[in-house]
Structure 1
Amino acid sequence: MRLNNKVIIVTGSTTGIGKAIAERAVAEGAKVVVHGLEPDWAVDLLGELGEENAVSLIGDLADEATAARLVDLAVSRFGRLDAVVNNAAIVASSNLESTDTVFLEKLLRVNTIAPFLLIKAALPYLGEARGCVLNIGSVNAWSGEPNLLAYSISKGGLMTMTRNLGDALFRDHGVKVNQINPGWVLTETEIQRKKEHGLSDNWYEDLPAMYAPAKRILLPREIAAAAVFWLSDESGPVSGQVMELEQYPMIGRNAPKDSSTIH
């Protein structure tokens, strides 16, 4: 087992990519702190993972106290902390005209500042374990789509933080910090979001080649498979790196004006 006996916090793990990472981590021998905003989903996931392998915390990452609560729960339940996966994020459409200060600050608080706070709270334990941080970003960090301005800004900030701390924390504490930038992923929330944009119930079965040369988009379990490498000892001393997971080598987006196509 590649993550045997490691204790890992995964934010935003009651659904989507975070859930897939939590499931894969437990399958690889880890103990996991599940986090989200949906109590019922957390209960269902704990039932799947087993209470001996996972514990959950429901809390808003916009609340600064949530980071410390997650760390305290991991250590009190499992006795240590080896890794943090900063996966939780708000995905919301906006452009220059529709983005005001309140909206931008809301996305930054959850998508960029919350990961910073969790890393800071976890650092004493991660340093003791010579552990790691894995940030889940987005290919939109490089420039972003026209209608994902605030989201792209927040993910750009996260990527810079990964590069910066990947050097500083590894040098001073032996803690690695890396990042995965997924492209378009078929999560439960993405399916619903596109339906709300007016697409059909099975919109993901007929996608333009520009966005899906493989005739489909990425699955959460495929992101989770990559996450295991970064969370395991297999990644060695590599730190401060960003892995792009998309179907084609495209930095940024030149999306059409139809917002239903954004991801």
Structure 2
Amino acid sequence: MDLHLKDKVVVISGAAGKFGSIGETILMRLVDEGAIPAIIDRNERGAVYAEEIRNKGVDAHFCQTDVTDPEQVENAMNEISKKYGRIDVVLNNVGVNDGVGLEASYEEFMNSLKLNMVSYFLIVKHALPYLKKSKGNILNIGSKVALTGQGRTSGYAASKGGVLALTREWAVDLVTYGIRSNAIIIAESWTPSYDTWIKTLPDGDKKLKSIVEKIPLENRMTSPEEIANVCLFTISDRSSHTTGQFIFVDGGYVHLDRALLTEN
């Protein structure tokens, strides 16, 4: 299916993760569709990705940016808009499950909010004039932690709850401009970061097995490719009458009856 994303300027944050991360996978799927990715990330790996993309014959731009710094975000959006003259999509993909719990300091909690939620606000705020012109759309990457809790991660949980609230607020606030706003909610997905975390546990293999067994559909983790495919469809005009939605790409992890997990 042609998603009509060719030459669409897509601002994507958090896309300079390691190969196989959710952000990197979404980025490369955008390239497959001929979209023009404008990468916002603090990791200089983004410059390498942008060069690789340009070598494939697709334009790309990288702005090395600390998304918790309002001035840096504003400068990045000005740079992108000056280069392309338009922004068609904002895809907010920043997220670090940083373990900032109730024992953390006020400063640590606020820093978690700034990274995991406030960065979304800043990017949309400075992209908004261009989204209005293009009647573009916003897609926020969320987490099941916003709905289920996890324990010992108050900052991340509060942030991702806020991201869902902002998704609905923006859908209402911007509906008169024809701007759509949606969120993708992820549960358990096998990424380099997940692999690193599992390897830090003394009983990592046992823990991984217990997690996978709790995913109803096929008892397996969601792949980054599956997440990326839903993202691309949602930002495309093939999803032109979908707004204010929380779209779960989680193998039924959040909603399906736990009875499904009972061993025979």
Superposed CA deviations along residues 89-126 of structure 1, whole A, max 9, x for unmatched, are 22112433x23311210111111111111111001000
Match of 1:137, SS state, is: strand
Residue in 2 that maps onto 1:236: 240
Superposed CA deviations along residues 203-261 of structure 1, whole A, max 9, x for unmatched, are 75785412475243111111110001111001113211111111225259x9xxxxxxx
Distance 2:211 2:161 in 1: 27
**Is 1:104 matched up with 2:112?**
no
Residue in 2 that maps onto 1:182: 186
1:37 deviation in Å?
2.3
Distance 1:10 1:82 in 2: 11
Structure 1: stretches of 5+ with no match in the other structure: 255-263
Give the aligned residue type for 2:43: E
Match of 1:151, SS state, is: helix
1:154 deviation in Å?
0.6
**Is 1:44 matched up with 2:48?**
yes
1:195 deviation in Å?
1.8
Q: Is the 8 A contact 2:213 2:220 kept in 1?
A: no
TM-aligned CA distance change 1:218 to 1:59, over 3 Å: same
Match of 2:130, SS state, is: helix
Q: Is the 8 A contact 2:91 2:138 kept in 1?
A: yes
Residue in 2 that maps onto 1:58: 64
**Is 1:74 matched up with 2:76?**
no
Superposed CA deviations along residues 78-98 of structure 1, whole A, max 9, x for unmatched, are 2311010010122112433x2
Give the aligned residue type for 1:13: A
Match of 2:148, SS state, is: coil
**Is 1:155 matched up with 2:167?**
no
TM-aligned CA distance change 1:244 to 1:208, over 3 Å: closer
Residue in 2 that maps onto 1:83: 89
TM-score by length of 2: 0.86
Q: Is the 8 A contact 1:82 1:125 kept in 2?
A: yes
1:28 deviation in Å?
0.8
Distance 2:68 2:16 in 1: 17
Distance 1:80 1:18 in 2: 22
**More displaced 10-residue stretch of structure 1: 235-244 or 64-73:** 64-73
Q: Is the 8 A contact 1:33 1:70 kept in 2?
A: no
Q: Is the 8 A contact 2:92 2:141 kept in 1?
A: yes
Give the aligned residue type for 1:149: S
Q: How does 1:247-258 map to 2 (within 5 A)?
A: 247-250=251-254
1:142 deviation in Å?
1.1
Superposed CA deviations along residues 183-216 of structure 1, whole A, max 9, x for unmatched, are 1111112211222234558975785412475243
**Is 1:194 matched up with 2:198?**
yes
**Is 1:227 matched up with 2:231?**
yes
Give the aligned residue type for 1:150: G
Give the aligned residue type for 1:123: L
Superposed CA deviations along residues 14-47 of structure 1, whole A, max 9, x for unmatched, are 12211111111111111001222221x2233123
Q: Is the 8 A contact 1:62 1:114 kept in 2?
A: yes
Tell me the percent identity. 26
Q: Is the 8 A contact 1:90 1:111 kept in 2?
A: yes
Match of 1:50, SS state, is: helix
Match of 2:113, SS state, is: helix
Match of 2:174, SS state, is: helix
Distance 1:54 1:38 in 2: 16
Residue in 1 that maps onto 2:30: 25
Q: Identify which of 3, 9, 12 aligns with 1:10.
A: 12
Give the aligned residue type for 2:143: S
TM-aligned CA distance change 1:245 to 1:13, over 3 Å: same
Give the aligned residue type for 1:209: E
**More displaced 10-residue stretch of structure 1: 124-133 or 229-238:** 229-238
Matched length: 250
Residue in 1 that maps onto 2:261: none
